[in-house]
Amino acid sequence: MSTPPEQSLPLCNSADLVDGGRAVAFDVRYAGQTCRAFAIRYRGVPHAYLNRCTHVAMEMDYQEGHFFDDTGQWLLCSTHGAAYLPHTGQCAGGPCRGGLVKIALSESDGVVHWHTAHHLQPVEF
């Protein structure tokens, strides 16, 4: 089976991502499984990750789209309190093992795009 080519796919309008605000959710195929992912904005830059805590492979948001703590400085897993750095996805405290799976994003002309990879594809692929 051949590896699909990498591509850039529109995700949302730039204005949909507000610093420390609500995330935009989307579905991806990661290592052959359909998974939820999310995009956030932190310090003016968009970032995206699989919605999967490294402590226990479960979705992190307590309410859909809510990942930031009250200060807007940390991404939190609502179940066990694992904290991640918003700009890298690396574990910053609590029960986590390594970092979140990062999804490459770019932003141009008011649109945020996500970029596929060999292990990360659109659901319809």
Structural domain includes residue 2: no
Q: Domain limits at 107?
A: 8-122
Structural domain includes residue 57: yes
Q: Which CATH number do you get for residue 82?
A: 2.102.10.10
Q: How many domains does the chain have?
A: 1
Structural domain includes residue 20: yes
Residue 80 confidence (pLDDT): 82
Kindly report, residue by residue over 18-62, the tens digit of the pLDDT: 999 999 999 999 988 999 999 999 999 999 999 998 887 788 987
Structural domain includes residue 84: yes
Structural domain includes residue 88: yes
Residue 107 confidence (pLDDT): 98
Residues 6+ apart with CB under 8 A from 5: none
